[in-house]
A and B are shown apart, each in its own frame.
Chain A
């Protein structure tokens, strides 16, 4: 009897164990907000946060190392990252970039793509969930068009991904198709956009600036120029009257530049809340830490080419875009570099010389003037708070001037616009006539380090020319390669010709 009961208990326990063992446990989340919870909100503040948050993925490439910005700048005649002995060899990436031998495997090529498409993914996820608001939808679609503007310029032939798509391997579209997509995205939405001034978000004038850049480069992007449309888009911004030239050029790039009258759209960097703008680290010599009381030792990387620097007249206030000559600590003590090379002409005292002895392998570590356009606040962390201008009124004036000049080489309005920009920084030296070289040089002086030089060189047909230690390059190099890492995981991507 007793044995039977015990057998029964034993059987019961075994059945209990078998049953509970089969039940699959759920995963609880504690320190994150699951998508279904976050996206089901109706709180207007949370919705606003999602809308403003759409811009967050844009923070972190313009002015950051190993980024799309690095590629645009180092591939141009503005800047190089030389090999300083062992330092900055880094697998040869920066020499390849400067000499237009970039490979699909370059880290910055992959980073640039990831940056753009991560933003597109974020925007599409928001459109999918909050697309019913017309204003939000228009703003997000134009923002997405801006990201495609970066993609068409850098990679050319890329996939178009909409929020409604379900194909996990979206195929490559031609540069012409991308052009049409950007244009229609902006035109379909521009009239819904806010026409008042906004800070670091898309409004009507940002949309016009996107069109202006697209049309100005239409000849490059789709094969047929759209100079009149470019001029018109710029005019819409000028006529809007919301923006004007800052009297002092460099004020547009200072630490607290949120009040700039000139900046139309900026990437909102902040040392605490929007990080990645690491210019002091990227460009300054180690010893310059003492000039700006930097929190961390800089890396001694990016420097400007001598010929480019020499295109600035000493009387042109824009020459303040560089740090050149003897360097001093914040308390006025002459800085020295104890590990100077024996071949350094002025020895240990730290002097940023315009001349760079060579691109590699043993570039002098003090050689080359440095990028000083963006203010380095005393005691700054590696992350600057200066907002990075994407569209700036000064650029709009030069763009309209160029478009008008392309339509009519003797356009007086074009000449006036260029001289308007020039007069602000270089009083008493107006141009008498406009030539291609003069326009390109003026754009160089005005737009240095803002990430447009490569695009300008291509438009002016100079990108494939030889300069300094960069030989003549093939026209196929006008497009960056599609990143190796993306082609590996998306078989429907097509590599650009020449790679």
Chain B
């Protein structure tokens, strides 16, 4: 290390001497120390302000730099506050740098504005770019996985095309939107797809009801505010170029153990004579490339930032990948002495992706290990692949090649903002933004694909969609101090219109596979099964009025109150607007009492009401959709008398309204040792009522919500506001900046959450609503009708019910506590008791090292690989079996029981990153950093499936509205987990 450092210093000195001939007029020396303890600070950057002339402090903190006349030196170092010193006549300048204690001065983004952290009276967490997770992070949400107490960011399996699932403080809704509302630079409801992780400056999470209430009927699932990087005005004329590029390798991190070919044959399996490792055939080492280049600059009253991001990700499975080009431009301009401020933001995101039928994973597990991949010529009926006509038994490699799913997606986000200081203290602002997403998908099932294509003789599909959102917001903000009382008033109005349009075409029966989905008109059959011609279009409007008052008395007492009124076109006739109020207050105790080492102690309490919108806007309206085709004379050859019949689409609910979440939050923000140890604690309780859910209503009977005017129930199902769930939790987070470990600085951050899992209070509204909700059957074969999750009022949400496994009898048959479903007991629950994240940042001279442990505990998973494929199927000698240390010898056909429910508590080394900042000299680079990152390096768990990650929702059966009610199922289509190694470099060019 010392030797290396010496070389660097030598090179730096050499460069310094080289340049000093031209510029130096005066030499300054000195020593940089830490203001905390007086120890030497090596590696500090010293820059002559306004020039490219710089130096780096050596291992003893000593530096030498030659400067011109009237020079000012800037001393900067990670974790410390930069200092500027005018040189004047001095030739020896010793500097003590103070720790950068974030908590004291941090500005937190809240809805429609910012506040100093010390003023915040509700539960808000803020994460800035230097705290983000590193490595090949493709989704913004993954940047803060494990960083915010109460926020779960999970992406089970390793599918690069799958977005993470987000849950803030657990489940908030069944039928509404369970993902937090995303606000990008003030654009409410923008899609996360619009922003590349490279372009994000900070993310703020509004956790409690009072913070989110300013977003009214969309705030229940929490709010994530994203602030993107932008140019800075007032710095004079400048332009910086930043480059960040990295390459990554993805490896399979975990797969399912199965019998080897020999074991399989010894057990009596059909021997096809070869040996194939189907995992290896399906997977590869995926490689990814990411390039980001941005230009940031400003001149006079104008500043800008432009960025281009390109990502090419190849997954661990051949045929699963995406390429994304994201470009972003933001421009700000000040006029009329800074009273008028204009901002323009443009983002375009262009993404191409390719995917396979995920069932290939299941077949890779169970396919006969003695079967070859190929057994014929490519022109053969099966494309040369080995195939056998057995139930649910398909060559996984053939499946991955013979079904093709391709998609293109384009997102465009535009934002125009005008701010004007009309009079003193009063600022008016108007925001106009559009968020547009268009997609074009193509799918093709080859004629040789035994699963689907062979039956339909080739099948091609194209579908396209166009979603857009237009938002106009006007706000007036009035801020004024009255003596010790500082006040801020906000009044705003918003009008949002969303539209969703699209169509799909599918044909089948092709002569050649050659054109695929590009030649959909080569398909002969365009009507009937496995074909489609359809379109849709819908629109909804949300109008809101909102206001807020923030009071700050002497910087000691804080009060905030807000209200938002929401009118949504999709509410029922008599329920057109909802009111969402909030109030919160806090007091800084350290201003009132002297508390020794405690430098900050703020206690606060808040109460807020938020909502959730119905999942579609037409649920309150009776209308007809297309039914089957009618043929008046019954003769299909005469088409003049054929029409599409009208089908009553739904049983409307004209009383449908928003969901309501009432949340009480108590919090403490603390700082010790001058704020070097800081953190907060939160305790919350939530009461969510009027839950949106589709309920059964008596089929054929008059409409229960409006028996006179609405049509009789044809579907027997309507959306209604039913029931109540409650939950609570405790969150703790703390960080200690710059613990000294000799020459190494260590900043640990730790957070954890304890959940009291959501409890179902009621599912009923009047006579309606289910007595209980049974969901999530394991599936085919043979386990189609036995739901394993029962949501029962009075119990925890998502309980798994089944018989207790007591062992096996002498014949190897299950001994179960019961086979009567009425006697089943709770055998597990998929929701966690708690989650934690532990981030560690180390810096040593120019080196930095960080790693993140993240985990969850107290949650169970149904391991469906074991649940289906552990037992030897007595009829089938062709399926392979899953073998784990939990595998008993069972001869019975697989049936769900406690045997297949496993504790999935885990600790995972999510991220480990090592970086080196090259000392820079000269005119070109102001910063060069080389780094290496490993993701998902280590998982400690007793779970034997693919991924112990919490499953907050179920993908397989039911629909998206029941998905949240069936947590804890690892399905057989789970993409294998990946381990990722990244090597990258980032540069900043002056």
Contact = CB atoms under 8 A, between A and B. Distances in A.
Nearest to A350: B389
B764 to A, nearest CB: 9
A87 interface: yes
Nearest to A21: B545
Given A31-B535, A118-B716, A166 B530 contact: no
Interface stretch (B234-242, B706-714, B944-952): B706-714
Interface in A29-46: 29-35, 38, 45
A380 B622 CA distance: 36
A365 B875 contact: yes
Interface stretch (B76-84, B739-747, B781-789): B781-789
Interface stretch (A205-213, A427-435, A484-492): A484-492
B538 A30 contact: yes
Nearest to B546: A21
B699 A117 contact: yes
Contacts of B495: 20
Interface stretch (B4-12, B125-133, B247-255, B766-774): B766-774
B697 interface: yes
B273 to A, nearest CB: 14
Contact of B389 (A122, A124, A289, A489): A289
B20 interface: no
Contacts of A21: 493, 543-545, 565, 567
Given A29-B618, A48-B632, A53-B630, A290 B389 contact: yes
A50 B646 contact: yes
Contact of A169 (B545, B695, B698, B699): B698
Interface stretch (B659-667, B890-898, B899-907, B964-972): B890-898
A169 B701 contact: yes
Contacts of B538: 29-31
A121 B530 contact: no
Contact of A166 (B423, B567, B631, B702): B702
B620 interface: yes
Given A27-B540, A161-B700, A121 B712 contact: yes
B529 A27 contact: no
B772 to A, nearest CB: 9
Contacts of A114: 699, 716
Interface string A97-126: 000000000010000011011111110110
B515 interface: no
A90 B786 contact: yes
Nearest to A360: B893
A456 B898 CA distance: 44
Contact of A13 (B476, B621, B696): B476
Nearest to A266: B634
B492 A17 contact: yes
B785 A90 contact: yes
Interface residues of A, number: 107
B782 A86 contact: yes
Contacts of B576: 24
Interface string B875-916: 111110000000000001111000000000000000000000
Contacts of A486: 696, 698-699
Given A13-B428, A27-B569, A86-B782, A56 B627 contact: yes
Interface string A323-356: 0000000000001011111000000000000000
Given A31-B538, A93-B785, A490 B767 contact: yes
B426 A10 contact: yes
B529 A113 contact: no
B785 A125 contact: no
Contacts of B537: 30-31
B707 A90 contact: no
A156 interface: no
Contact of B423 (A10, A14, A90): A10
Interface in B743-797: 767-771, 777, 780-787
Contacts of A200: 634
A33 B623 contact: yes
A17 B781 contact: no
B576 to A, nearest CB: 4
A199 B634 CA distance: 7
A252 B892 CA distance: 43
B107 interface: no
B543 A25 contact: yes
A308 interface: no
Interface string A265-304: 0001011111100000000001101100011110010000
A114 B819 CA distance: 29
Given A53-B645, A125-B712, A295 B702 contact: no
A341 B389 contact: no
A3 B620 CA distance: 48
Contacts of B785: 90-93, 107
A88 interface: yes
Interface string B398-428: 0000000000000000000000001100101
A159 B699 contact: no
A287 B633 CA distance: 39
Category for how many chain B residues contact A: 35 or more
A167 interface: yes
A437 interface: no
A17 B545 contact: yes
B632 A20 contact: no
Interface string B453-478: 00110000000000000000010100
Contact of A381 (B529, B542, B567, B895): B529
Contacts of B957: none
A117 B628 CA distance: 19
B100 interface: no
A273 B495 CA distance: 42
Contacts, number: 320
Contacts of B633: 199
A52 interface: yes
A10 B645 contact: no
B301 to A, nearest CB: 22
B529 A121 contact: no
A286 B391 contact: yes
Contact of A161 (B476, B565, B712, B787): B712
B806 interface: no
Given A341-B874, A381-B528, A49 B390 contact: no
B565 A271 contact: no
A57 to B, nearest CB: 8
B624 interface: yes
A17 B493 contact: yes
Contacts of B567: 21-25
Nearest to A344: B875
A31 B493 contact: no
B830 interface: no
B591 interface: no
Contact of A271 (B528, B716, B770): B528
B648 A59 contact: no
A139 to B, nearest CB: 14
Most buried by B among A3, A31, A53: A31
A86 B873 contact: yes
Most buried by B among A59, A268, A339: A339
A87 B391 contact: yes
Contacts of A169: 698, 701, 704, 767
Interface of A: 3, 6-7, 9-10, 13-14, 17-18, 20-35, 38, 45, 48-50, 52-53, 56-57, 59, 83-93, 107, 113-114, 116-122, 124-125, 128, 159, 161, 163, 165-170, 199-200, 258, 268, 270-275, 286-287, 289-290, 294-297, 300, 335, 337-341, 361-362, 364-365, 381-383, 485-486, 488-491, 493
Given A26-B569, A28-B539, A300-B391, 17 more contacts: A22-B545, A22-B577, A24-B543, A32-B625, A35-B622, A85-B782, A91-B784, A91-B821, A93-B785, A118-B716, A121-B713, A128-B712, A165-B702, A169-B701, A169-B704, A275-B529, A489-B697
12 contacts: A10-B476, A25-B541, A28-B539, A29-B618, A83-B893, A87-B875, A118-B715, A121-B701, A161-B712, A169-B701, A286-B390, A295-B455
